[in-house]
Copies of this chain bind each other. A is one copy, B any other.
């Protein structure tokens, strides 16, 4: 029992260490600011195939991936998945529209691997913004970078053929490419798995 407690503490340290170094790679914080932030985080463990979020939910949390891999997707009327984001280590994931604009979620977020996450509650975040406004900067920078990445994704759908877009995807996310089934990459690119398979075959020769 003592052993277990110790393990949990070590575990907690590891998760906080991960997010804190991510924070400090973007902004400079004091010990106090960091501890205000850390105090608001909750740990979540989720196994492959489990859902973090489903449509129709009132979303109160955003999630930081410490370890693992998830996909965020919409499901259309035919049941096709349209993947909006893969989230791996050091990414934030959530339904930002539902979270910030207080509308019901339309998004599925599902674990592709067993994953460890940290969650933050909407109310906690608002308090953090007031008590430690440096975190406005942290999220401003992250959102700006995410915005730029999305802009590039839009551009690639506008100007490139599927083969080029697939190659670009592999180049941009080499680590994701090897952790995710190909039909999910097809979903992300918005093409059929058959088409992606043929493209991959074509690239081999």
Contact = CB atoms under 8 A, between A and B. Distances in A.
Contacts of A150: 147, 150-151, 154
Given A74-B159, A82-B159, A158-B82, A148 B97 contact: yes
Interface in A159-203: 159, 187, 190
A76 B159 contact: yes
A155 B82 contact: yes
A101 B148 contact: yes
Given A155-B82, A157-B157, A137 B147 contact: no
A80 interface: yes
Interface residues of A, number: 33
Interface of A: 74, 76, 80, 82-84, 96-97, 100-101, 129, 133, 136-137, 139-140, 143-148, 150-155, 157-159, 187, 190
A100 B150 CA distance: 15
Contacts of A97: 148, 151-152
A51 B101 CA distance: 35
A44 B97 CA distance: 33
B159 A80 contact: yes
Contacts of A158: 74, 82-84, 187, 190
A84 B155 contact: yes
Given A133-B133, A136-B133, A140-B139, A96 B155 contact: no
Nearest to A76: B159
Most central of A76, A100, A143, A151 by chain B CB within 10 Å: A151
Given A100-B144, A137-B136, A159-B74, A151 B80 contact: no
Given A97-B151, A100-B145, 20 more contacts: A74-B155, A74-B159, A76-B159, A82-B158, A84-B151, A96-B144, A96-B147, A96-B151, A97-B148, A100-B144, A100-B148, A101-B148, A133-B133, A139-B144, A143-B143, A143-B144, A147-B150, A150-B154, A153-B154, A157-B190
